[in-house]
């Protein structure tokens, strides 16, 4: 059967390798419980190759911690509602500025801009649709999910994507490591796997801005192969591979009872609308989320 649609070329078709990264945590520079140095050490022990510390209203410099196996990227959770994270930011925008101006201020510094915990911030789709320089949104925030039951924003993501905005999905810890807070919020709950050709600050920033990554709380994609109108994935053992587009079309590939899946593909009959994205669900109920793969 000849399909009438075609996907955009995928960043995963280029040469590269996977690295583990996180871009949402706090230190003693704001309301976190540990120093930047101890926080970096904790993340490195969890196998992270890249980290941005996102203290409230100030850039926490960690690029001096970079070496052959780790890259620190100076970052910030800017402040203001709704809030925005700047990865590779140099200075905050005034918190009383409108959202679009705060995002623009960070983007002008070359930062990768991520809308922080959208559900916690009670955001509706129009808020993100009107901000061209907003590059990504947190689709999963572990702290908000565990402490406030409002850390998931995948439905909002689909609505924004469905209106035509190109916006990547990011998962983050929002770790505070602070026993004085009502909820401790730990490291290593949700992270990015970035596909990059170059283990450098700029290589990672380019990968982020081109959507060359996926988000996860555990399951891993090994391959996301996009060719013309076909998508095939391979992954760690999972019980569901969920194929999603905008609207009433969709497909869940279930593993047989007491078994698992390690690969899946877009079904022949699946007619996507605007984009396709893929979610993995493992036997512990943990999710991974690919970025949207857009139709040409
Ligand atoms: Zn935060």
First to last CA, the chain: 19
The rounded distance, in Å, linking the Cα atoms of 73 and 54 is: 10
Q: For the chain, what is the radius of gyration of the CA atoms?
A: 18
pLDDT, position 1? 60
In the block, tokens 């915990």 appear at 117
pLDDT, position 247? 93
pTM: predicted TM-score of the whole model, two decimal places: 0.97
pLDDT, position 3? 82
CA 40 to ligand 1 center in whole angstroms: 16
Please identify every residue whose CB atom is under 5 Å from ligand 1, which is an ion: 77, 174
> How many angstroms separate the Cα of 115 from the Cα of each of 45, 127, 241, 247, 282?
27, 10, 26, 24, 27
With beta carbons less than 8 A apart as the criterion, state whether 205 and 52 touch.
Answer: no
CA 288 to ligand 1 center in whole angstroms: 21
CA 172 to ligand 1 center in whole angstroms: 9
In the block, tokens 């994609």 appear at 221
pLDDT, position 4? 86
CA 246 to ligand 1 center in whole angstroms: 29
- Residue ranges of domains in the chain: 16-216, 221-294
CA 152 to ligand 1 center in whole angstroms: 15
Give the DSSP letter string of 41-88: HHHHHTT-SEE----BTS-B--GGG-BTTBEE--EEE--SSS-EEEET
Low-confidence ranges of the chain (pLDDT < 70): 1
The CATH code that applies to domain 16-216 is 3.20.20.140
């Amino acid at each position: 059967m000849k399909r009438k649609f075609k996907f955009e070329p995928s960043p995963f078709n280029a040469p590269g390798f996977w690295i583990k990264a996180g871009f949402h945590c706090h230190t003693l520079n704001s309301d976190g419980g540990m120093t930047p140095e101890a926080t970096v050490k904790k993340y490195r022990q969890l196998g992270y190759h890249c980290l941005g510390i996102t203290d409230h209203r100030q850039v926490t410099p960690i690029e001096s911690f970079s070496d052959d196996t780790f890259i620190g990227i100076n970052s910030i959770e800017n402040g203001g509602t709704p809030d925005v994270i700047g990865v590779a930011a140099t200075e905050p925008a005034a918190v009383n500025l409108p959202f679009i101006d705060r995002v623009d201020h960070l983007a002008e510094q070359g930062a990768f801009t991520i809308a922080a915990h959208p559900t916690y911030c009670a955001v509706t789709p129009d808020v993100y649709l009107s901000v061209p320089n907003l590059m990504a949104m947190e689709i999963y925030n572990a702290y908000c999910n565990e402490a406030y039951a409002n850390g998931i924003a995948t439905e909002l993501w689909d609505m924004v994507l469905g209106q035509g905005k190109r916006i990547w999905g990011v998962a983050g810890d929002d770790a505070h490591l602070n026993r004085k807070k009502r909820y401790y919020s730990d490291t290593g709950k949700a992270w990015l796997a970035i596909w990059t050709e170059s283990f450098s600050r700029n290589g990672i920033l380019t990968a982020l801005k081109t959507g060359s990554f996926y988000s996860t709380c555990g399951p891993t994609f090994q391959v996301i192969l996009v060719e013309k109108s076909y998508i095939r994935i391979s992954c760690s053992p999972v019980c569901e591979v969920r194929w999603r587009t905008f609207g009433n079309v969709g497909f869940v590939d279930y593993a047989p009872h007491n078994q698992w899946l390690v690969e899946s593909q877009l079904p022949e009959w699946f007619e996507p609308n605007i984009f396709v994205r893929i979610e993995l669900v493992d036997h512990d109920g943990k999710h991974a989320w690919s970025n949207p793969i857009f139709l040409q």
